Amino acid sequence: MKKVTSILSGALTTLLTIILLVTVAAVVTTQVSDGEPSLFGYQIKTVLSGSMEPGIDTGSVILVRAVDESGVYQVGDVVTFQTYEGPLVTHRIHEVTDGGQSYITKGDNNPLPDTQVLEPSMVVGEYTGMTIPYLGHVFSFVSSDVGVIFLFIIPGFLLVLYSLYTIVRALREVDRLSKEQQQTVSSSHQE
């Protein structure tokens, strides 16, 4: 029974430590990159609307390959671009215009093409086809101030509580062994 408890204790400590480290890494990466984590030229983007459903659901995380301004795209390519209004949008190239110098985009779930003409310099990434549903909700939460506090405090607090529990348990074990040793010494002196 002690061995099982010891294994579970070690596993729980390891799990809490991993959760804390992963949370710290995710928060730091997200905050340093202004909410846009990037690795080896690929960026992680959160889908905030249903314009590309059912292929890309709201709240999904997609992987886009970062591109430069000289990118050439074809009808059917899915790109993430900066709108004139500011937010990033991920839509499919619906039409190539001006001999490849501009594009008309459309969300798969939208009845009409976008009114804004897309210039290659506005494209920030090309969709790789990798989608992780619902993870975007987690990323949005992690990026928020409340999420940062919540995700640092809860795992850290649990780790501290578990450490205190382990220390108290170890002290009780030392006390028990000390009492047993004293009893053994007392009984050997009485003989």
8 A C-beta contact, residue 146 and residue 27: no
Q: Which structure tokens are listed for 126?
A: 């090309």
| Secondary structure (H, E, C), 27-40 | HHHHHHCCCCCEEC
64: which strand partners?
A: 43, 127
DSSP class of residue 119 equals P
8 A C-beta contact, residue 114 and residue 91: yes
Active-site choice (49, 70, 163, 188): 49
Q: How far apart, in Å, are the Cα atoms of 147 and each of 37, 58, 153, 171?
A: 16, 20, 10, 36
Phi, psi of 128 (to 5 degrees): -90, -10
Query: Can 38 be counted among the known catalytic residues?
Result: no
Q: Which residues are catalytic?
A: 49
